[in-house]
A and B are shown apart, each in its own frame.
Chain A
Amino acid sequence: MDTMEPTRAWHDLIRPDQVHGSLYHDPAIFAAELEHIWYRTWVYVGHESEVPRPYDFVAKSIGPQAVIMTRGADGRVHLLLNRCPHRGNQVCTEDKGNARKFTCPFHNWTFANDGALTGYAYPDGYAGDDMSGLGMGRVARVESYRGFVFGSFAADGPTLLEHLGGAAEAFDRLVANSPEGEVEITAGFLKHRVQANWKLLVENETDGYHPAFVHGSIFTVTPSGIGALYGPKSTALGRDYGNGHTEIDLRPEFRRIGKPLGWFGTSEERLPDYAARMRKTHGDARAREIMIDGSPHFMIFPNLFIAEIQIFVLQARAVDDTVQHATALQFKGAPDLNRRLLQQTMGSVGPAGFLLADDSEMYERTQRGVASLSPEWLYLGRGRNRERTDDNGHRVGHVTDEVTSRGIWRHYGRLMEAAR
């Protein structure tokens, strides 16, 4: 792959407060990213609730690679590559289902749902051959945290928990919003394609500088208080967890306002069933704290974004082709909250969403903009003058600062440099 490496060294492309425009549009850099990031590090694939029963399967991806997530007879989750080991045909063309076996339609080879070869047509032609190694390809490592399943093509490397590092606590805060301590993904995904590089999306997910401008149109017609969270007077924070993971921490604002469920523009009176279940699970005081703090807003590098009520899975398909898979989170044991989560999500995200259609417009305009020859660099220095370290040792800054983007690029640079 050496011939695919960009001609400049990585440290010539990433500076502490600047990144080079070619990082977003050079196909050689995308090829190197596939090798060093998408096909090596932990990448989010799917959620355990999408394959609740034995033999369930669902079509997923890791970058351009099609992956089938299955639930084995023993309850374990497997990640298979959708390719027959015989002559390379696609084995499965269904989006989801329940199947004890996958059969390749080309020559009728049959596989268990953990990928093992279980049968092949006219076996006398293979008499004496060792067929035991001819299973479907598997993603080398599969681990999950709080039901979120990640895969890594590298046989060795950091564990998922090591990779998540300090950001694991954001998942803990997320699931605490469920009276049963679990989120579920049951509503299917909107698949929104953008002609833009995947890193523009990663950076934007925890960019607190843009909402007032990109989303001004919807804030104007549906006053909601969201705009003020991202204003210059907000007490909210941007956080760099390390390992490329970042957060917009809105809790300081929600605590200042002090209204349970205010984070979701509603109240305990309007969702009495949910509030009662939360108090039963957590006790009055803790339930009140959770309902004031609300659901977190964080980005797990390179492709999982939790936006309070939604999940986005970013799929890099080419240097300028990215798909956002988006759906509503559903909190287990919270039917009245879940209806509202779904309605709000449908309004906000996807190809026609009040918010994401405008974000996506910016991604595509930026993709065209960065192809300009000059200036060569993007400037990511906002808030360097006031960046500090929080009690857990994570870099934080004002919600509108670029502490998050700088954290993403610091990690990216290390991954790409280390891989040389």
Chain B
Amino acid sequence: MSPGADAALLGEVQQFVFREARLQDEHDYAAWEALWTDDGVYWIPANADDIDPEKEMSIVYDNRSRISVRVRQLSTGNRHTQAPRSRLRRIVSNIELLGEDGGDFSAGSNSLIFESNLRADTIWAARTEYRLRRHEGQLKMARKKVMLVNNHKALHTLSFLI
């Protein structure tokens, strides 16, 4: 890929990541769900970044159908831990194209998230890796892996979309 094309793709990926962050911060669940491919996997490992999610516990390891369950539960308005909803703002930075594999792009970012809810104000920090795929002209998430900096420790409830 030429440097110009790379820069254009990076710009497009950045816009995608920023938009996803805003949809999450503002609890726009339906628009967020529409960012996923039909085979999307949403993964938040526990205890380390490189565990085997088929054999070890993860905080979230959702296939596409379970992503939909998660969104539908949040959308009931009766998901108590998100009623009232967490107030959220996140900074996403260090966005980097990491490679291309069979038409999918991988990209990485770091994020720092401020959550305010009934219990407390909490700061979350994470490294995120995306696998993105172009579908009908739009980028979609085929996989999102969120590696919390403190995933080896006991964590308070994390019930917003990260």
Q: Chain A: residues with CB nearer than 8 A to chain B?
A: 95, 186-195, 214, 216-218, 220-222, 323, 326-328, 339, 342-343, 345-347, 350-352, 354, 357-358, 360-362, 364-365, 368
Q: Is the CB of B57 within 8 A of A188?
A: yes
Q: Is the CB of B55 within 8 A of A187?
A: yes
B58 within 8 A of A: yes
Q: What residues on A are CB-neighbors of B153 within 8 Å?
A: 191
Q: Which of B47, B78, B118, B159 contacts A365 (CB 8 A)?
A: B118
Q: Is the CB of A351 within 8 A of B59?
A: yes
Q: What residues on B are CB-neighbors of A191 within 8 Å?
A: 46, 153-155
> Which of B69-77, B93-101, B126-134 is near enough to bind chain A?
B69-77
Q: What residues on B are CB-neighbors of A216 within 8 Å?
A: 76, 78
Q: What residues on A are CB-neighbors of B80 within 8 Å?
A: 214, 217, 358, 361-362
Specify the chain B residue showing the minimal Cβ separation from A222.
B69
The contact string, 1 if C-beta is below 8 Å from chain A, for chain B 46-77, is 11000100111111111000100110110010
B5 within 8 A of A: no
Q: Is the CB of A352 within 8 A of B154?
A: no
Q: What residues on B are CB-neighbors of A186 within 8 Å?
A: 55
Q: Is the CB of A360 within 8 A of B55?
A: no
Specify the chain A residue showing the minimal Cβ separation from B160.
A352
The contact string, 1 if C-beta is below 8 Å from chain A, for chain B 118-162, is 111000000000000000000000000000000011111111000
Q: Which of A188, A193, A217, A342 contacts B155 (CB 8 A)?
A: A193
Q: What residues on A are CB-neighbors of B13 within 8 Å?
A: none
Q: Is the CB of A360 within 8 A of B81?
A: yes
Q: Which of A189, A194, A323, A368 contacts B57 (CB 8 A)?
A: A189
> Known pairs A188-B56, A345-B57. 14 more at Cβ < 8 A?
A188-B51, A188-B57, A191-B46, A191-B154, A192-B156, A192-B157, A193-B156, A194-B157, A218-B73, A327-B57, A342-B57, A350-B59, A351-B155, A362-B80
A347 to B66, CA, bound (A): 8
A411 to B159, CA, bound (A): 35
Given A186-B55, A192-B154, A357-B159, decide whether A220 and B76 contact each other with a Cβ distance below 8 A.
yes
A357 to B51, CA, bound (A): 23
CB distance from B53 to the nearest CB of A (A): 8
